[in-house]
Chains A and B, each alone.
Chain A
Amino acid sequence: MAQAFQKIYTQITAITKATCSLKAEGVGNDELALVNGKLAQVVKIIGDEVTLQVFQGTEGIPTNAEVTFLGKAPSLKVSDQLAGRFFNAYGDPIDGGPAVEGKEIEIGGPSVNPVRRKQPSELIATGIAGIDLNNTLVSGQKIPFFSDPDQPYNQVMANVALRAEADKIILGGMGLTNDDYLYFKNVFSNAGVLDHIVSFVNTTENPPVERLLIPDMALTAAEYFAVEKHEKVLVLLTDMTLYADA
């Protein structure tokens, strides 16, 4: 991703488990950087000392690592092509398909003006009696699932995703085991509903810090479909405990 005439820094002054610091100038807050090819984000600037959070962890980063700043915040390319695809925390495809073309939107963007919101009132039918009858899911509302680790919460989520009458379903998987990821993938492909599901997945094999990007990625995609395409979007995030752990 490095471009011509870009300044490359090679003097890292401090390294911790998830961050590294270096002297650099003209860097913006929240900007992305590459440290020896690993993606990192600016979290702190004091004078000319910049601290970067390295998403994959700092294992193996030497003090003379090559650091380039990308001059932009984490972003996602959005378009209809997102549908039916699986992405990692950076918005890159992990299902072996081609990269997505589209408009680039910064993630974690501005919040919705509360006076422009509508009161949630429309039912999203999930087809699960325990949810629809007792504790109805309403479009525009958010509901947490509380679960013990030994409960089949991912199955329930997959069921909700399959049955819910929404135009698009965005699944943000944080700290899923590889098996669970493959489970979701299989269930969706077998049911033939892949075309209205977008998944952002961070498995336990990936570094935990990357999970921090998942909800923002998922919600950016959701906002794109909801605001620009006027579709009903259901976002499922699993599981927030592992997100908080990161």
Chain B
Amino acid sequence: MTTGKVKGIIANLVTIAVDGPVAQNEICYIYVGETRLMAEVIKVIGANVYAQVFESTRGLKVGNKVEFTGHMLEVTLGPGLLSRNYDGLQNDLDKLTGVFLKRGEYNFPLDQEKKWAFTPIAKVGDKVEAASWLGEVDENHQPHKIMVPFVFEGTYTVKSIAKAGEYTINEVMAVLTDADGVDHEVTMVQKWPVKKAILAYREKPRPFKLLETGVRTIDTANPLCEGGTGFIPGPFGTGKTVLQHAISKQAEADIVIIAACGERANEVVETFTEFPELDDPHTGRKLMERTIIIANTSNMPVASREASVYTSMTIAEYYRSMGLRVLLMADSTSRWAQALREMSNRLEELPGQDAFPMDLSAIIGAFYARAGYVYLNNGATGSVTFLGTVSPAGGNLKEPVTEGTKKVARCFYALEQARADRKRYPAVNPIDSYSKYVEYPEFEAYISELIDKDWLPMVNDMKTYLQRGKEIQEQINILGDDGVPVDYHEEFWKAEVIDFVILQQDAFDKIDAVCPLERQQYMLRLVMDICRHDYNFDLFTDVIEYFKRVINLCKQMNYCEFKSAEFEDYRKKLDELLAEKQIKK
């Protein structure tokens, strides 16, 4: 193995003189007394290697010994990842001792003692390749496939496979013979470098399947697709965290991975304490059973922020290869970009806009591209849906991280301060937000099949009403209530009905928090029917009073069990009210 000696130190950037070959992004360990600090090679010039240390370099001296490992930053993949809390380098936070994080303390991320009930899938004599399913263990009620390690190249023949039974992760589960007749042993565990995408699938089509989240402003107005990408810019106090929690709780995903990258520790703690308590609405079990949390909070070392987003993405891809639907939420990518900027500046690279590295948008682009819906080699499907948040400095959406993200993410949920201040939650601006998926013919075909042909035109119609309502509001603000025709008030209040009934949703109400697609469809039809009618008013004050009653009844319906007696009762009252003023077509 190559070794080296420390030559220079600037904060967490260390220059090392090496005596042998090193690779870019190779991992090395720097000795400070007895402790070993993990570092990653980020630049090589002659015999000088620049490495970013993932921890504090306090006390590090020139001449200290460095050992290179010969591999890039890797994650350990195997059964037992679910419901764990990891740091950015995949150390199990629960296994670490003491209140404080000790420098240089690393541990093995999986449980090596636990026995898993294994059922073979492949048979002796089968031809297999990387990511082929050999068997299955039950991990928190998820079918966790034991796969041919992703690093295997070419085709192999199964020579032997373990019988159904209980095994630990390190036992040999299968022996594979390669084309040259050499035998390879396969256990339940494999390693994969985080910066490389796992490409063991046949095809990656454009996302077309709706990912139901139960949040009306997302599913109805700007749908997110399975395998899609989206981002939420979150100014302070706009309910970003509540929205994210709602999505991670309700989304139709098998696995949820939360990467808390540079977030405030107290928010992460909220996830740590809440998730084990919450019930999964789909299975009734605890939410934590299908969740993995990768936490690199704002007070933890900056350098491992980058590692944390890649680690979470790699774990997501690993579960996707098993044919599962994975939802990955990263909060927030801006803090990751800040870490990139810090390193870039220390390396004295040519700075781009706002001193971010020149290739920032390429880095963000490459990362978002790892998400997606895939057909695996055996025909099964899996997906990684990625939802990132950005926290633009000063709410400026023109800064490089937001711009770079906008280019690659297909959905955009514009959380808005003004909306939050008016207590209209979720504070997603319906006009600024978009989902590019509604333009995909594949998606159109899928949604027509799933709901109805008139669904997308109806949603577009709804957006037109909202847009019109906004314009009229501006005119009323200028001309005054009695300066515009009564029709204008009617139009404005129709937009308000849409806003209050469809877009706003109470995340703290048991029933309203989750709105299944069937119910969304029912409500949208109801509301659009209200909007498409003309009404008979003489005074604008009547308009306001009347529509407030309409809104109230619709909201009551939102709070009732779908199609319950109470629900139908409100519907009846609403119909009576509408009959009063509606002009029959």
A residues sitting closer than 8 Å to B (CB atoms) are 25-31, 43-48, 73, 106, 108-120, 140-142, 227
Segment 152-193 of B: residues with Cβ below 8 Å from A: none
CB distance from A137 to the nearest CB of B (A): 13
Contacting pair A111 B93 (CB below 8 A): no
**The 5 A-B residue pairs with the shortest CB-CB distance in the complex, in nearest-first order:** A46-B8, A30-B58, A111-B299, A28-B59, A110-B100
Q: Which of A45, A111, A112 contacts B8 (CB 8 A)?
A: A45
Contact between chains at A113 and B100 (CB < 8 Å): yes
Residues of B near A115 (CB, < 8 A) are 85, 93-94, 272, 295
Interface contact B101-A46, CB-CB below 8 Å: no
Q: Please, which residues of chain A bring their CB within 8 A of the CB of B15?
A: 46
Could you name 26 residue pairs across A and B whose Cβ atoms are closer than 8 Å? A25-B62, A26-B61, A28-B58, A29-B9, A29-B57, A30-B56, A30-B59, A44-B10, A45-B61, A46-B10, A47-B7, A110-B100, A112-B101, A113-B93, A113-B101, A114-B85, A114-B272, A115-B85, A115-B272, A117-B265, A117-B266, A117-B272, A118-B273, A119-B269, A140-B266, A227-B99
Instruction: Give the chain B neighbours of A26 by CB distance below 8 A.
Output: 61-63
- Asked whether B268 is an interface residue with its Cβ less than 8 Å from the other chain, the reply is yes
Residues of A within 8 A of B57 (CB): 29-30
List which B282-296 residues lie within 8 A (CB) of chain A.
Answer: 295
Instruction: Tell me, in angstroms, the Cα distance from A108 to B299 when the chains sit together.
Output: 11
B269 touches A117 (CB 8 A): yes
Whether A119 contacts B270 by the Cβ 8 Å rule is yes
- Chain B residues with CB under 8 Å of A25's CB are 62-63
With contacts A44-B9, A46-B7 known, is A112 near B59, CB below 8 A? no
**B532 on interface, CB distance cutoff 8 Å:** no
Q: Which residue of B lies closest to A117 (CB)?
A: B269
Q: Is B9 a contact of A113 with CB atoms below 8 Å?
A: no
Please report the C-alpha to C-alpha distance between residue A45 and residue B57 in the assembled complex, in whole angstroms.
11
Chain B residues in 8 Å Cβ range of A45: 8-10, 61-62
The complex places the Cα of A45 from the Cα of B103 at a distance, in Å, of: 21
Query: What residue in chain A is nearest B93 (Cβ atoms)?
Result: A115
Smallest Cβ-Cβ distance to B57: which chain A residue? A29
Q: Let me know if B60 and A28 touch, CB within 8 A.
A: yes
**Contact string against A for B residues 50-87, beta-carbon threshold 8 Å, 1 for contact and 0 otherwise:** 00000011111111000000000000000000000100
Residues of chain A within 8 A (CB-CB) of B273 are 118-119
When the two chains form their complex, are residues A120 and B59 in contact, meaning their CB atoms are under 8 A apart?
no
Which residue of B is nearest A45, CB measured?
B9
Closest residue of chain A to B53 (Cβ to Cβ) is: A29
- A113→B58 contact, CB < 8 A: no
Q: Considering residues A31, A45, A110, A113, which has the most beta carbons from chain B within 10 angstroms of its beta carbon?
A: A113
- Is A28 in contact with B265, judged by CB distance below 8 angstroms? no
Best-buried of A27, A47, A116, A120 by chain B (most CB within 10 Å): A116
Q: Shortest Cβ distance from B268 into chain A, in angstroms?
A: 5
B300 interfacial by beta-carbon distance below 8 Å: yes
DSSP majority for the A interface?
loop
Does B480 reach chain A (CB closer than 8 Å)? no
**Which residues of A lie under 8 Å from residue B100 when comparing CB positions?**
109-113
Which residue of chain B has the shortest Cβ distance to A71 in the bound complex? B59
Q: Which of B85-104 contact A (CB under 8 A)?
A: 85, 93-94, 96, 98-103
Bound CA–CA A141/B295 (angstroms):
18
> B58 near A111 (CB under 8 angstroms)?
no
List of B residues within 8 angstroms of A116 by Cβ: 99
Query: Which of the residues B96, B103, B274 comes within 8 Å of A113, measured between beta carbons?
Result: B96
CB distance from B89 to the nearest CB of A (A): 14
Q: A25-B63, A26-B62, A117-B272 are in contact. List 20 more A-B contacts (CB 8 A).
A: A28-B58, A29-B59, A29-B60, A30-B56, A30-B59, A45-B9, A45-B10, A46-B9, A47-B7, A110-B56, A110-B103, A111-B265, A111-B299, A112-B99, A113-B93, A113-B96, A115-B94, A117-B265, A117-B266, A119-B269
Q: Which residue of A lies closest to B84 (CB)?
A: A115
For the complex, give the distance between the alpha carbons of A112 and B63 in Å: 30
Q: Which residue of B lies closest to A73 (CB)?
A: B58
Residues of A within 8 A of B334 (CB): none
Contact of B61 with A112 in the complex, beta carbons under 8 Å: no
Distance of A31 Cα from B63 Cα, bound (Å): 16
Q: How far is the CA of A44 from the CA of B6 in the complex (A)?
A: 13
Pick the contact of B297 from A28, A29, A111, A142 — CB < 8 Å?
A: A111
B99 touches A120 (CB 8 A): no
Instruction: Please give, as numbers and ranges, the residues of chain A lying within 8 Å of B272 by CB-CB distance.
Output: 114-115, 117, 119
A119 to B266 Cα, complex, angstroms: 7
The smallest C-beta distance from B303 to any residue of chain A, in angstroms, reads: 13
Chain B contacts with A in 435-494, Cβ cutoff 8 A: none
Q: Which residue of B lies closest to A74 (CB)?
A: B58
**Bound complex: CA A108 to CA B57 (Å):** 12
Q: How far is the CA of A108 from the CA of B85 in the complex (A)?
A: 25
Q: Within 8 Å CB of A113, what residues of B?
A: 93, 96, 98-101
Q: Could you say which residues of chain B place their CB within 8 Å of the CB of A44?
A: 8-11
How many angstroms between the C-alpha atoms of A110 and B300 in the bound complex?
A: 8
User: Contact: B93 with A112, CB < 8 Å?
Assistant: no
CB pair A47–B58 under 8 Å, yes or no, is no
Q: How far is it, in angstroms, between the C-alpha of A48 and the C-alpha of B8 when the chains are bound?
A: 8
Per-residue 0/1 for B95-115: is the Cβ within 8 Å of any A Cβ (1 yes, 0 no)? 010111111000000000000
Q: Given A30-B58, A46-B8, are A114 and B268 also a contact pair (CB < 8 Å)?
A: yes
Contact A118 B269 (CB under 8 A): yes
B279 to chain A minimum Cβ distance, whole angstroms, is 18
Q: Which residues of B contact A109 (CB under 8 A)?
A: 100
Nearest-Cβ distance from residue A128 to partner chain B, whole angstroms: 21
- Is the pair A47, B103 in contact by a Cβ cutoff of 8 Å? no
Q: Please name the residue on chain A nearest to B270 by beta carbon.
A: A119
Measured CB to CB, the nearest residue on chain B to A50 is B62
How far does the alpha carbon of A115 sit from the alpha carbon of B99 in the complex, in Å?
Answer: 9
List the B side residues contacting A227 at CB < 8 Å.
Answer: 99
Are B266 and A120 in contact (CB-based, < 8 A)?
A: yes
Query: What residues on A are CB-neighbors of B56 within 8 Å?
Result: 30, 110
Q: Name B15's closest neighbour in chain A (CB-CB).
A: A46
Bound-state Cα–Cα, A125 to B99, Å: 26
Of A43, A112, A120, the contact of B299 (CB 8 Å cutoff): A112
Shortest distance in angstroms between A222's beta carbon and chain B's nearest beta carbon? 13
Nearest B residue to A115, CB-CB: B93
**Is the beta-carbon distance between A27 and B269 smaller than 8 angstroms?**
no
Inside 8 A of B11's CB, which chain A residues have their CB?
Answer: 43-44
| Contact flags B17-56 to A (C-beta < 8 A → 1, else 0) | 0000000000000000000000000000000000000001
> How far apart are the CA atoms of A43 and B346 in the complex, in Å?
13
| Interfacial chain A residues near B8, Cβ < 8 Å | 44-47
The residue among A27, A119, A227 with the most chain B CB atoms within 10 A of its own CB is A119
Within the complex, what minimum Cβ distance (angstroms) separates B45 from chain A? 13
Given A117-B265, A117-B269; A27-B62 close (CB under 8 Å): yes
Q: How far is the CA of A31 from the CA of B59 in the complex (A)?
A: 6
Complex CA distance for A227 and B99, rounded to whole angstroms: 8
CA distance A141 to B266 in the complex (A): 7
- In the assembled complex, the Cα of A140 lies from the Cα of B273 at a distance in Å of 15
Nearest A residue (CB) for B102: A110
Give the residue name and chain of the B residue nearest to A109 (CB).
B100
B563 CB to nearest chain A CB (Å): 37
Cα of A110 to Cα of B56 in the assembled complex, Å: 8
A220 to B85, CA, bound (A): 26
> Closest CB-CB distance, A225 to chain B, in whole Å?
14
Shortest distance from the beta carbon of B34 to any chain A beta carbon, whole Å: 15
Q: Is A110 a contact partner of B266 (Cβ separation < 8 A)?
A: no
A112 partner residues in chain B, CB cutoff 8 A: 99-101, 265, 299
The complex places the Cα of A30 from the Cα of B53 at a distance, in Å, of 15
